[in-house]
Structure 1
Amino acid sequence: MRPPSIGIDFGTTNSSVAIATGSSTVDLVSFPTLTGTTHSFRSVLYLEQLRQAGRTGVKSFTGPAAIEHYIEAEAKGRLIQSLKSYLPSRSLTGTEVFGKRYAIEDLVSRILTDLRLRAEEHLGQPIRSATVGRPVRFVGAETAEDDTFATDRLRAAFTQAGFEEVTFELEPLAAAYAYESTLAKDELILIGDFGGGTSDFSLLEVGPSSLGRKRTILGNSGLGLAGDAFDARIVRKLVSPALGSNSFERTFAQAADRPANIIPAAPAWIYANLERWHYLSFLKTRNVTEILKSARLRAQEPEKIAALITLIDEDLGYQLHQAVQRLKVELSHNETATFRFRDGSMDIVAEVERTDFESWIEDELASIEDCVDTLLASSHVDPSKVDRVFLTGGTSFVPAVRRIFESRFSPARVLTGNEFTSVAQGLALRAAEVS
């Protein structure tokens, strides 16, 4: 029996698995949740300490189950998110959880194992090979060697998860395969694939005449920012100030000819990590706790530092992320939206104009513009020659992002695919074509 053609999109925020069922059709693997099923598997891992009959152990949960167990737990375990973004880092080899050291590959493999097991249950047979997506450039990768290092670590995690053969394909190219399956004629297209941590772009020729042979890629480019960078701006503008980022230590009487010292209440690096919500779990250390307890005693606004301590101690990164996501979605449909984050000692409510949000992310938007323009120039392609622009990923729905492409190619030529599963579908189709 020929092995199934499997495509796996292991994303920074979401993952999905697709199985090719024909020359242009795929079946998406579904994952159970408390409210039904979903094709989008959250790329999260929850580790919970178990104590039974005087013995201790650690149990892991992934995807929707991880979030459900985390929310329901009274004594919070460790919720770890966005593991893909750590792969290029040679300095971050792992983390300690409940006194045990775990390598990054160990943590990633737990998510991949559950993806494989669920796909096997869905398909009814073992899965040992897959075509896997990878970004043009990983988050944090500064050189080609960094990208190779990240890819090697990802391959090792897949091997640990029970895969014997893994073929990597660029994620924007996979999105192109998904779009190509809908075509009746050849086209020159630009693919924009926006993930949680990366934005990748490719120019290539696709269509019926390309089937069965390698596609002509005119050029590709990528940068290590996307949805998570937009989230960071919202946290910096709305959340961090409520947690003391703009607060200072109390000043005491000083000589009249000497100005008072203005010292931040808490170190800036803690708020920098707070902006990357997937780093929040890594702030839950004895060292950070002692720093913040001392800062609260010296702060002009101790209640804000106390709220920051609560956020870290109760590991509320997921709830914070959800509040940020809700605001982004609302601002994609409305000119004004309300940001709400209420939990324990925190009650942050703010009205946000879309124009304000766009001003917060103007540097990121400029970087995306430069990346697209550089790709067109280096490929010697005039925008008028591009038949279609196919965008995928949640960030592609942000109006300011869409305007970048609509202003260069016209709105009629800009299409949007399924934001969470297009890449997995394309990977499965590519796997079937190769086999």
Structure 2
Amino acid sequence: MLRTVAKAGTYSAPNFQEARQMFVGMDFGTSNSAVGIVDASGAARIVSHDNAGLSERATNDTLRSMIAFDRAHRDSDGWPLPLVGQAGIAAYLNSGDECRLLQSFKSHLTSRLFTSATIFNRPYSLERLIAIVVERLRLSAEGQRGAPLTQVVAGRPVRFVAEDGKDVDDYAVERLTEAFRQAGIAEIAFEFEPIAAAYYYERTLDHDETVLVADFGGGTSDFCLVRLGPGRAGMADPRDAIIGTGGVGIAGDTFDRRIVERGIAPFFGKNTTYHSNKKDLPVPDWIYGKFARWHHIGFLGTGSTLRMLRDIQRHASHPERIEDLLTLIEYNLGYHLYRSVEQAKVALSQGTETTFVFDHDPVRVERPITRAEFEDWISPELTEIETCVETLLTSTGTPAGKVDRVFMTGGSSLVPAVRAIFDRRFGAERVRAGGEFVSVASGLAYRAAELFGRG
């Protein structure tokens, strides 16, 4: 059940001129987070964040949903001081073994086993870790508002990802609510992320439409059928315009992992062998399971694992590949590897082939990748996405022909194979895209104005 703090009563549009307020929406994401603000003009703007020297751009519209703890930097009570977002990545890259990096907190909200993490002998609950990121977002918003922030509309996926398939939405929302409260936000309402994207798209309309919103985040792909346009404002509760929602735990991070697993990991020894006890044995596959997330590659840097890999290298069918694997681990190059993967994915969204290049002396990997290969690697995920959309249409009794528009947003909406699912089903002329990384934050801010600006 979606939880909000809305009071009962008849909806009335916010009066920005009288309120003299700024309304804030927070998109706390699996990989990236963003903050939108609606001011007296009624238009949303996105809060910028320092890039910490990680790219040529000084600022970015998104904050990486990551925290780094450096062993050497602690407060007066001995607790390690957190560095959030791009600053955390920079600290991790510069500090090596003395720095712990954590990410993808959102994907653990459904787990009753993940209650806390121990960082340099200090316990941090999952709620506290999320609160650290949210507090950074709150401070950024307060810098724009020039006043304390107590009310927020925050995004949530339609379906939280649960490994056991159980319905754990209420549990996940309770934990997320507690995290926001620990971050100093007293009044919070949650909105489905694709509905927030719908509010963003609605600003372009001068007529009513039935719209399928497809929001592709880092951890989930979420869908919403909704009636948008001027007529929605006349409803007693504008959310009555929602026809149905659906979601699946597949998105951009999954696509990146498939490129690494299928196209890149073999250059570091995956699917090769080594000779031991007069037998040819496969290099242990669990090693490459750590390639699922770039910062997990660093977890292989234990003394016992490195000794095992050096022993394997001496008897390997491709010792040079194990040598490159050791270099990748020892020089903490996981982040750089995934940056190259992301660049290849973007290039394949723009062309039919590219050359993946990872060049960090002494390791160089160069491999041509075609769009057809990439689409083959992610074909099971594409099928799941298409099935989820079909299920939504069927469950709501909505024929594809009754959908006036499809609005796609989020990074993976740029992947041609993802776009093709909707072009085939609804016709390319009815498919639109935009606001790939800011539509949800902007829409959440519009919802905040709608909810908190009444009167």
CA apart distance, 1:406: 0.7
CA distance in 1, matches of 2:125, 2:116: 4
1:389 aligns with 2:406: yes
Equivalent residue number for residue 128 of structure 1 = 150
Q: Which residue of 2 aligns with 1:245?
A: 270
Partner of 1:6: 24
1:118 and 2:140 matched: yes
Describe how 1:282-301 pairs up with structure 2 within 5 A.
Answer: 282-283=299-300, 288-289=305-306, 292=309, 295-296=312-313, 299-301=316-318
1:170 to 192, 195, 214: 192
1:71-117, Cα deviation, whole Å (9 max, x unpaired): 34466512222222222222233333333333222222211111111
Q: Which residue of 1 aligns with 2:8?
A: none
Q: Is the 8 A contact 2:70 2:81 kept in 1?
A: yes
| Corresponding residue for residue 364 of structure 2 | 347
Query: Paired residue for 2:216, among 172, 194, 209?
Result: 194
The change in CA–CA distance for 1:51 and 1:189 in structure 2 (over 3 A counts) is closer
Q: Deviations over 1:241-264 (max 9, x none)?
A: 1222212231454xxxxxxx4422
Determine helix, strand or coil for the equivalent of 1:304.
helix
Q: Secondary structure at the match of 1:125?
A: coil
Partner SS state of residue 130, structure 2: helix
Between 1:66-75 and 1:416-425, the stretch displaced more is 66-75
Does 2:38 correspond to 1:16?
A: no
Would the aligned equivalents of 2:71 and 2:98 in 1 still touch at CA under 8 Å?
no
Q: Contact conserved, 1:10 with 1:133, CA < 8 A, in 2?
A: yes
Which range moved further: 390-399 or 111-120? Answer: 111-120
Counterpart of 1:238, as a letter, is G
- Distance in 1, matches of 2:201 and 2:164, equals 30
Q: Deviations over 1:269-304 (max 9, x none)?
A: 331231233544555556655654554455443443
Give 1:135-214 correspondences, 5 Å limit. 135-143=157-165, 145-211=167-233, 213=237, 214=239
Conserved in 2, the CA contact under 8 Å of 1:392 and 1:418? yes
Alpha-carbon RMSD across the aligned residues, in angstroms, is 2.5
| TM-score, L = length of structure 2 | 0.86
Aligned-partner SS, 1:61: strand
Whether the 8 Å CA contact 1:23–1:432 is kept in 2: the answer is: no
CA 1:46 to 1:371, structure 2 compared with 1: closer, same or farther past 3 Å? Answer: same
Q: What CA distance in whole angstroms lies between the structure 1 residues aligned with 2:161 and 2:331?
A: 27
Question: Normalization by structure 1: what TM-score?
Answer: 0.90
Q: CA deviation at 1:369?
A: 1.1
The separation in 1 between residues aligned to 2:118 and 2:323, in whole angstroms, is: 25
How far does the alpha carbon of each residue in 1:204-229 deviate from its partner, in whole angstroms, 9 at most, with x for none? Answer: 11111112622322221110011111
Identify which of 227, 231, 256 aligns with 1:231.
Answer: 256
Paired with 1:104 and 1:91, the residues of 2 have a C-alpha distance of 11
| Larger deviation, residues 209-218 vs 117-126 | 209-218
- Contact 2:72–2:98 (8 Å) recurs in 1: no
**Following TM superposition, by how much is the alpha carbon of 1:134 offset from its aligned partner in structure 2, in angstroms?**
0.5
- Equivalent position amino acid for 2:249 in 1: G
Partner of 1:77: 99
**2:49 alignment counterpart:** 31
**Aligned partners of 1:414, 1:11: CA distance in 2, in Å?**
25
Identify which range, 325-334 or 82-91, moves more after superposition.
82-91
Contact 1:231-1:325 at 8 Å conserved across structures:
yes
Residues 49, 57 of structure 1: 8 Å contact kept: no
Residue ranges of structure 2 left out of the alignment (5+ in a row):
1-18
Cα 1:59–1:306 change in 2 (3 A) is farther
Go from structure 1 to structure 2 and tell me whether the alpha carbon gap of 1:32 and 1:3 turns closer, same or farther (over 3 Å shift): same
For residue 390 of structure 1, report the CA deviation from its aligned partner.
Answer: 0.4
Q: What are the Cα deviations for residues 22-54 of structure 1, in whole angstroms up to 9, with x where unaligned?
A: 5851121111234322211111212112269x9
Residue 377 of structure 1 pairs with residue 399 of structure 2: no
Shift of 1:151: 2.0
2-structure distance, mates of 1:292, 1:249? 10
Aligned positions of 1:264-283 closer than 5 A: 264-266=282-284, 268-277=285-294, 279-280=296-297, 282-283=299-300
Q: Which residue of 2 aligns with 1:320?
A: 337
Asked whether the 8 Å contact 1:82–1:278 carries over to 2, the reply is no
Q: Which residue of 1 aligns with 2:384?
A: 367
Number of residue pairs matched by the alignment: 426
1:86 matches 2:104: no
The one-letter code of the counterpart of 2:35 is V
Q: Find the aligned partners of 1:285 and 1:207 in 2 and give their Cα distance.
A: 57
| CA distance, structure 2, for counterparts of residue 340 and residue 81 of structure 1 | 25
1:256 aligned residue:
none
Contact 2:200/2:442 (8 A) holds in 1: yes
2:445 is paired with a residue whose SS is: helix
* CA separation of 1:262 and 1:406: change in aligned 2, threshold 3 A: same
Name the CA distance, whole Å, in 2 between partners of 1:323 and 1:20. Answer: 36
TM-fit CA distance, 1:368:
0.9
Task: Sort the Cα spacing of 1:23 and 1:374 in 2 relative to 1 into closer, same or farther, 3 A.
Answer: farther
Alignment match, 2:15: none
Gaps of 5+ in 1: 254-260
